C-alpha cells in the first residue's frame, strides 16, 4: 500500500469473527449502482446478515448484502438485497473456487470500506466454528478479563 491509499471504513461484519475462523483475506472491488454509492456516502445502513460470496462461471458474486435504499433517488432506486458482482483477479477467483469445493470452506464479506474513493470489500475464506469452540472461546475471554481485573486491583494497593 502506498502513502496515498486512504482507507475509510463503511461497515464491518462483527459476526464473522465470532462464527468463523478466517483463513485468508482478499480485497475485492464491487459493482454498485449510483444510488447504492450515494446511500453509502450518506452513511446508509449496511447489514452483512446471512451474506456470502459464491463463485459462478468464473465470476464472484456477493449475495444478501443489505445496502439501504437512497432516500432521494428517483424511481430507479436499487434493490437493497440484490446480488452484486465482485471484481477479483482471475487467479484469485480460481483459487477461492477450488478451496471452497475441496475443503468445505465458505467465503464471507468481512468489511466494506472506501479506498481512493472506490468501494472495496474485504472477503475472507472461512471455516465455520463449532458451537463448543465458540463457548470455549467465550469462557477463555471471561477468564482472561477476570484475571486482568484481579491483577489491576493488586497494583493499586
pLDDT at 3 over 60: no
Mean pLDDT for 75-83 is 78
72: helix, strand or coil: coil
Q: How is residue 60 annotated by DSSP?
A: E
Which CATH code fits 7-129? Answer: 2.40.280.10
Q: What is the pLDDT of residue 155?
A: 59
State how far the Cα of 38 lies from the Cα of 34, in Å rounded to an integer.
Answer: 6
Mean pLDDT for 126-148 is 82
State the average pLDDT for the chain.
83
Cβ atoms of 77 and 70 closer than 8 Å = yes
**Sorting pLDDT into bands at 50, 70 and 90, what band is 135?**
confident
Model pLDDT for residues 81-113, shown as the tens digit of each residue: 788 888 999 999 888 888 888 777 888 999 888
pLDDT at 156 over 60: no
In a 10 Å sphere around its CB, with 0-12 CB exposed, 13-18 middle and 19+ buried, how is residue 47 labelled?
A: middle
Mean pLDDT for 47-74 is 85
What pTM does this model have?
0.74
**Sorting pLDDT into bands at 50, 70 and 90, what band is 121?**
very high
Q: What is the pLDDT of residue 16?
A: 82
How many distinct helices (H) and strands (E) make up the chain?
Answer: 4, 9
Q: What is the pLDDT of residue 90?
A: 92
pLDDT at 76 over 60: yes
pLDDT at 130 over 70: yes
13: helix, strand or coil: coil
Q: What is the pLDDT of residue 89?
A: 93
How many C-alpha atoms does 86 have within 13 Å on its Cβ side?
Answer: 31
Amino acid at each position: 500500500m502506498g502513502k496515498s491509499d486512504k482507507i475509510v471504513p463503511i461497515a464491518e461484519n462483527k459476526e464473522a469473527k465470532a462464527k468463523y475462523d478466517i483463513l485468508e483475506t482478499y480485497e475485492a472491488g464491487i459493482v454498485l449502482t449510483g444510488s447504492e454509492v450515494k446511500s453509502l456516502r450518506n452513511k446508509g445502513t449496511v447489514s452483512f446478515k446471512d451474506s456470502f460470496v459464491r463463485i459462478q462461471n468464473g465470476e464472484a458474486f456477493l449475495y444478501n448484502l443489505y445496502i439501504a435504499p437512497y432516500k432521494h433517488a428517483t424511481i430507479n432506486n436499487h434493490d437493497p438485497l440484490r446480488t452484486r458482482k465482485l471484481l477479483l483477479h482471475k487467479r484469485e477467483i480460481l483459487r477461492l473456487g477450488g478451496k471452497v469445493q475441496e475443503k468445505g470452506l465458505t467465503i464471507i464479506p468481512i468489511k466494506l470500506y472506501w479506498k481512493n474513493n472506490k468501494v472495496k470489500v474485504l472477503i475472507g475464506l472461512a471455516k465455520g466454528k463449532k458451537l463448543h469452540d465458540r463457548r470455549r472461546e467465550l469462557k477463555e475471554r471471561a477468564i482472561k478479563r477476570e484475571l486482568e481485573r484481579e491483577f489491576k486491583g493488586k497494583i493499586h494497593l
